[in-house]
Chain A
Amino acid sequence: MFRFDPYSPAIDADPFPFYRTLRDEHPCFWSEEANMWVLSRYDDIVTALNDWETYSSAKGNLMDEMPNRAGNTLGTTDPPRHDRLRGIVQFAFTRKAVEGLVEPVRASANRALDAVQGEKTFDFVNDFSSKVTVDVLFGLFNLPRENERMVRDKAVLMVQSDPRTRQKGPEHLAAFQWMSDYAKSLVELRTREPGDDLITALIQAEVNGEKLAEREVQMTVTTLIMAGIESLSGFLTMFAYNLADHADARRRLAANPALIPDAVEESLRFNTSAQRFRRCLQKDVTLHGQTMRAGDFVCLAYGSGNRDERRFPDADRYDIDRKPKGHLGFGGGVHACLGTAFARLASRVAFEELLKRVPEFERVQEQLPWMPSTTFRSPTRLELAAAWA
């Protein structure tokens, strides 16, 4: 009998064959291990994303939710409150607002590359993607330049879960607690010393004449740090992984960097780190012969929708000429990723610099160590053999 266990290391390593079976044979599947329904076809996921009244986020959006988070962040609130919160935050993330980050990202990428210049092999995760991401994010949020390494480690740890116990282990919860406390200290700092930054804007913002609760500010900051660090660094790593395995695509990008944005879009479709999020049903829904009940949780498997042949022909092929409009790499609907403009800009600039200095690289490890997570997917180390320009 077919099973889909998002806690299993096999799914961490390669969920795509399982997704295919889900799409073709069980498009509305009850996963006992996850204790929720799984939607895997592109059209079903898009329909759910466009219907927040039925598919609510208010009970949490991560596959394994963290304590006291649901209801206190953008991703875990429904309209109309969500829209008011988002209206406050999103102006810090428009394309215009992040334009100024081009040169900081470029400089950061070059500093990371300077540190490993000439090395025959380096670990893309520790030596490049996480360094650049943390560096740039600290700039974006104007965070005090201390604890950078610690913040990164905790952000990565808090999104993981224990494959044996099928829930968050003490170390994951401790990481979340650490991040919440860190966010609290940032909020206290910006309350005492307001600045021209997002945290100050959140503290001072009013929704319908009411200030945000301290808990909301703190959880929103926690989530922005987690999403910024984990998701962006995970995506950069998956992009490098794709280019290591697809030498033709990489050589075309190195020869013509103007193609990088198209390759970013295809990587977002092909295997971006944000694989699965969840919703909670507000009423009974019958789909593909199954009846899902009000109160049931539903997993939206974005990573599967992105490989759905019904939407993307030859979906398992990595094709940088595809221009996959409407992909689910950033989710969709009212909760679509807040950081799209920032992520696209940072990815483009980081890879312009990387490919200029390391036009040739290949994967060293045959088997990669995949992060144990029910929501995200990326390797914890990606060793690359590099030929420097």
Chain B
Amino acid sequence: MAKITFIEHSGERLVVNIPVGWTVMQGAVQNGVEGIEAECGGSCACATCHCYVDEAFVDALPAPSETEEAMLECTAAERLPNSRLSCQLKVSEALDGLVLRLPEAQS
């Protein structure tokens, strides 16, 4: 399990325990995080699970794949250097304490 904090665009904070091996997106959807839409179901094809990774964790994450890079160009909200698609982030113990901010819009 890793404890992951989602900060909705409204400022509301949700702390969720996600099993190792799941994706961050899956954990968000299962726990009712409103700001993650995840229209495509986790195949990196819709850019509606966009999140901004807390600066302290950016370097702890594996770099985005080519497909994620390309899909990050399709986000509804502005892409920032710390933008990631949460369906591509696999939960590991190393992500315990991760903080993610959610954009104003996903689509």
Q: Which residues of A approach B to under 8 Å, CB–CB?
A: 46-47, 49-51, 83, 86-87, 90-91, 93-96, 325-326, 330-338, 340-341, 344
A135–B30 Cα distance when bound, in Å, is 37
- B37 proximity list for chain A (CB < 8 A): 325
- B29 proximity list for chain A (CB < 8 A): 325-326
Among the listed A83, A91, A95, A337, which residue makes an inter-chain contact with B41, where contact means beta carbons less than 8 Å apart?
A337
Which one of B2-10, B18-26, B55-63, B96-104 is at the A interface?
B18-26
A9–B39 Cα distance when bound, in Å, is 33
Interface digits, B64-107 against A, CB 8 Å rule (1 contact, 0 not)? 01110011001000000000000000000000000000000001
Among the listed B30, B40, B65, which residue makes an inter-chain contact with A336, where contact means beta carbons less than 8 Å apart?
B40
A338–B47 Cα distance when bound, in Å, is 13
CB-CB under 8 A for A86 and B39, given A46-B26, A51-B21, A91-B70: no
CB-CB under 8 A for A87 and B43, given A50-B21, A50-B23: no
Whether B45 contacts A338 by the Cβ 8 Å rule is yes
- Main SS class of interface, A: helix
Q: Which residues of B approach A to under 8 Å, CB–CB?
A: 21-23, 26, 29-30, 32, 37-47, 65-67, 70-71, 74, 107
Whether A86 contacts B30 by the Cβ 8 Å rule is no
- A95 proximity list for chain B (CB < 8 A): 39, 46, 107
Among the listed B22, B46, B65, B66, which residue makes an inter-chain contact with A341, where contact means beta carbons less than 8 Å apart?
B46
Given A90-B44, A325-B32, 16 extra CB contacts under 8 A: A46-B22, A47-B21, A49-B42, A50-B22, A50-B26, A83-B44, A86-B43, A86-B67, A90-B43, A94-B71, A96-B74, A326-B38, A336-B43, A337-B40, A338-B43, A344-B39
- B39 proximity list for chain A (CB < 8 A): 95, 340-341, 344
- A93 proximity list for chain B (CB < 8 A): 45
Whether B45 contacts A334 by the Cβ 8 Å rule is no
- B38 proximity list for chain A (CB < 8 A): 325-326
> Closest residue of chain B to A93, judged by CB?
B45
Whether B23 contacts A94 by the Cβ 8 Å rule is no
Whether A334 contacts B43 by the Cβ 8 Å rule is yes
Measured between C-beta atoms, what is the minimum distance from B106 to chain A in Å?
Answer: 11
